[in-house]
Structure 1
Amino acid sequence: MNSPTQLKILSAVWRNPGLSRSELGELAGLHVNTMTRTVDALIRKGYLREGASGQSGVRGRPKIPLEVDPARTCVGGIAIAAGGVEAVAMNLLGQPQGEAEKAAASNSAGIAKAVSRLLGGLLPKNPLALGVSVTGFVDPVSRRILWSSAAPAAELDLAPLLARAGETPVALNSEIHALGMRWLMKHVEAEHDDTLVVTLEDGAVGASMLIAGRPNRGCVLGGNELGHMSLNIETARCYCGGVGCVERVFCTDFLHRLGGRGSLGEAFAEPALSAPARQIIDLVALGVANATVFARPHRVVVAGMPAHNARFRDALERAWRRRLPAVFRERVTLSWYETKATLSAETSGWLAIASVLSGSDGRAWT
């Protein structure tokens, strides 16, 4: 789809489902004839559909609401992470169209082979765009993975692989920025603010700084590496080579070093938090507070494993606020993003959805 008018209408319906043609024309500022032709074309292509007639509209005619057609595969998502590659086809509402395909891969050659095979499964569906997420850092010009837990021993050139997409736009970014876009597309009221999205998983901590609705670009593609912020504490050595990384603190191994038992998730689920669990929460809160003071966002959003755990949430927010200067405690809000499959091909697909609805060719998200 390369018509700016079609993209404008598709985006308007996505954000405002249920509008009639006349309401959509007023919102988009388009002549009724242009609106009719555009909507009809989008319906023929399967991107929009008409809902059931509602209350009477202009001159007593029934209002026919428009909505995004959930049956149409519009985007594809590919996630490259430690252990393998995952791909899924999705509609513009972010709903998977079938099961995600997975391919195990432990080195650069395996990743290249897996990406090529999974791309071959997505392209025949004629997606409007592809979203590709990578854990680690990627050169935005050459599209070469520079450093990643997915292929820690070698660099990997993604350019020849992604070239297979042909004219299909490819939005490439880190997995945590993909999560940030997934959150933002579901909270469009925050698109003009600065938001720090933090993800906490056992042994994996990341952050995405969204500046006025756009991922922080920087000199390389990658998350804002909260996970590799170094604290003055002895931990197991991280794959980045450092000691004291926040993601080496937020893990089961460090819990055991402190004398705790079971897994990290089990420790946070106990009726009363143990001393090792409280120490981990306090150290992670220190890292998040430092990132908050440095970035000065309007809000901090925390996703991942403990987002469903009220006891952990309360403890982390108290520790985080305690470490913030008063000026930030009064202005920065903290909320929790409870969602499944935080770092996955499904999340990667939201990079593509964002690029389609913004009218971008994908480069805006790389």
Structure 2
Amino acid sequence: MLTDTERRVLEVIRKHDGISRREIAKLLHLSKPVVSDAVAQLISKGYVRENGIVRSSKARAGRPRIRLSFVPDAKYCIGIELEERNFEAVLANLNGNVTYSLSLSLPRMNSKEELSEWIVQRVLELMERSQIPQEKILGIGVGIAGIVDSKSAVVRAFPA
């Protein structure tokens, strides 16, 4: 899990590839040590990497500035769409690029439990085929056509 500061720093790095710690500190109005600590955590978690030194036309004293880059393949998300007769699952990196997809006909199921188990097996199949380990999966989102009880967030009717 990321702290609020780590999230803010990560978002800046994602939007400004090659940015330095110093530039992040200026943009976010944070101290350099706070930014350095957040960057160190993001590097250790695999979300960020160092990409060389920022070249300057001016001769500067002190430590050289190091470019930072976002690592979109640090984590992945799975998206599932259930339709009346179709099942589609995609695996996407943190930039939203689909790295693997699975499209199948949805077989007839006799119960919600049977459908749930079938979906779990397809997710495991997707992860196995893509060779992405479970610890790299941030979460799974499911889109389903049907009538949803707004108070309980339970699907009450699903196209058969």
TM over 0.5: yes
Q: How much does 1:46 deviate?
A: 0.9
Q: Does 1:87 align with 2:89?
A: yes
Q: How much does 1:144 deviate?
A: 2.2
Q: Does 1:8 align with 2:8?
A: yes
Distance 1:141 1:27, change over 3 A: farther
Amino acid at match of 2:33: N
Query: What is aligned with 2:122?
Result: 118
Q: Matches of residues 145-294 of structure 1 in structure 2 within 5 Å? A: 145-147=155-157, 151-153=158-160
Q: Distance in 1 between matches of 2:82 and 2:97?
A: 20
Query: What is aligned with 1:131?
Result: 141
Q: Distance in 1 between matches of 2:50 and 2:14?
A: 13
Report SS of the residue matched to 2:152: coil
Amino acid at match of 1:51: N
Query: What is aligned with 2:31?
Result: 31
On the 8 A contact 2:54/2:66 being kept in 1, the answer is: yes
On the 8 A contact 2:74/2:136 being kept in 1, the answer is: no
Q: Does 1:47 align with 2:47?
A: yes
Query: What is aligned with 2:153?
Result: 143
On the 8 A contact 1:105/1:111 being kept in 2, the answer is: no
Which has a greater percent of helix?
A: 1
Query: What is aligned with 1:256?
Result: none
On the 8 A contact 1:77/1:87 being kept in 2, the answer is: yes
Amino acid at match of 1:93: N
Unaligned runs of 5+ in 2: 128-132
Q: Distance in 1 between matches of 2:68 and 2:90?
A: 26
On the 8 A contact 2:88/2:103 being kept in 1, the answer is: yes
Distance 1:46 1:140, change over 3 A: farther
Query: What is aligned with 2:68?
Result: 66
Amino acid at match of 1:38: A
Q: How much does 1:38 deviate?
A: 0.9
On the 8 A contact 1:75/1:89 being kept in 2, the answer is: yes
Which has a greater percent of strand?
A: 2
Q: Distance in 2 between matches of 1:27 and 1:12?
A: 8
Unaligned runs of 5+ in 1: 154-366
Distance 1:100 1:32, change over 3 A: same
On the 8 A contact 1:78/1:132 being kept in 2, the answer is: yes
Amino acid at match of 2:119: V
RMSD of aligned residue pairs (Cα, Å): 2.9
On the 8 A contact 1:105/1:114 being kept in 2, the answer is: no
Report SS of the residue matched to 1:39: helix
Amino acid at match of 1:76: I
Taking structure 1 as the reference length, the TM-score comes to 0.35
Aligned residues: 149
On the 8 A contact 1:85/1:111 being kept in 2, the answer is: no
Q: How much does 1:12 deviate?
A: 2.0
Taking structure 2 as the reference length, the TM-score comes to 0.72
Report SS of the residue matched to 1:142: coil
Q: Deviations over 1:107-140 (max 9, x none)?
A: 4546423322234465823423333222344335
Query: What is aligned with 1:275?
Result: none
What's the % identity of the aligned pairs? 28
Query: What is aligned with 1:162?
Result: none
4+ residue runs over 6 A deviation: none
Amino acid at match of 1:112: S
Q: Does 1:20 align with 2:20?
A: yes
Q: Distance in 2 between matches of 1:144 and 1:9?
A: 37
Query: What is aligned with 1:202?
Result: none
